[in-house]
Amino acid sequence: MKIKLYDIAHSRAGDKGNTLTLSLIPYKEEDYLLLCKEVTPKKVKKHLKEISMGNIVRYELPNISSLLFVCRHALAGGVTTSLSLDTHGKSLSYALLEMEIEYGN
């Protein structure tokens, strides 16, 4: 069954210059391993192709059962000089949560 990440996880976006950070936190800690398996940096890069122009690094944080994606060249040149409406990319956490993954059988 296909589900949206929104159904099982939450996220907050952060900004540093032209770099976007996106956390991915499952509501149930037991879903952490599934997220590790399904939400690869490659799939996230494809999902965010209109947003993230650079490479995406994924950090695994088993200590808090969460993932962190660090996306370079993702804020249209940077927070302070972008012409975008959402210069910080604060709304982009919900772009990640639109991604679909296989869940259960």
Partner 1 sequence: MKEKIRIGCGAGFSGDRLEPAIILAEKGELDYLVLECLAERTIALAQKRKLQNPDKGYDILLERRILSLLPTLKKNKVRLITNMGAANPIAAANKVIEIAKQLDLEISVAAVTGDDVFDRIYPHQKAMETNEALSASGKLISANAYLGIEAILPALQTNADIIITGRVADPSLFLAPMVHEFSWSPKDHDLLGKGTVIGHLLECAGQITGGYFADPGKKDVAGMDRLGHPFADVLRDGSATISKVEGTGGLINLQTAKEQLLYEVVDPYEYYTPDVIANFTTVHLKEKGKDLVVVTGGSGKQRPSTYKVSVGYHAFYLGEGEISYAGSNAMGRAKLAASIIKDRLKNSFPGLQIDFVGSTSVHHTSFKHSAEPYEIRLRVAGKADSFEKATIFGEEVEALYTNGPAAGGGVRKHVNEVIGIVSTLIEKEKVRSSVTLYHS
Supply 87's token pair: 């210069």
Supply 67's token pair: 């993932």
CA 16 to chain centre: 15
The residue among 40 and 80 lying less far from partner 1, judged by its C-beta, is 80
Task: Please spell the DSSP secondary structure of 9-55, one letter per residue.
Answer: EE--EEEETTEEEEEEEESSGGGHHHHHHH--HHHHHHHTTTT--S-
Size of the site for partner 1 (CB under 8 A): 36
- Give yes or no for residue 101 binding partner 1 (CB under 8 A): no
Q: Do 45 and 57 form a contact (C-beta atoms < 8 A)?
A: no
| 35, 39, 44, 92: residue in contact with partner 1 (rule CB under 8 A) | 92
Scan residues 8-67 and list those touching partner 1 (CB under 8 A).
10-12, 14-19, 21, 23, 25, 27, 50-51, 59, 61, 63-64, 66
Q: Do 95 and 48 form a contact (C-beta atoms < 8 A)?
A: yes
The residue among 49 and 104 lying less far from partner 1, judged by its C-beta, is 49
Footprint of partner 1 (CB under 8 A)? 6, 10-12, 14-19, 21, 23, 25, 27, 50-51, 59, 61, 63-64, 66, 68, 70, 78-81, 83-86, 91-92, 94-95, 98
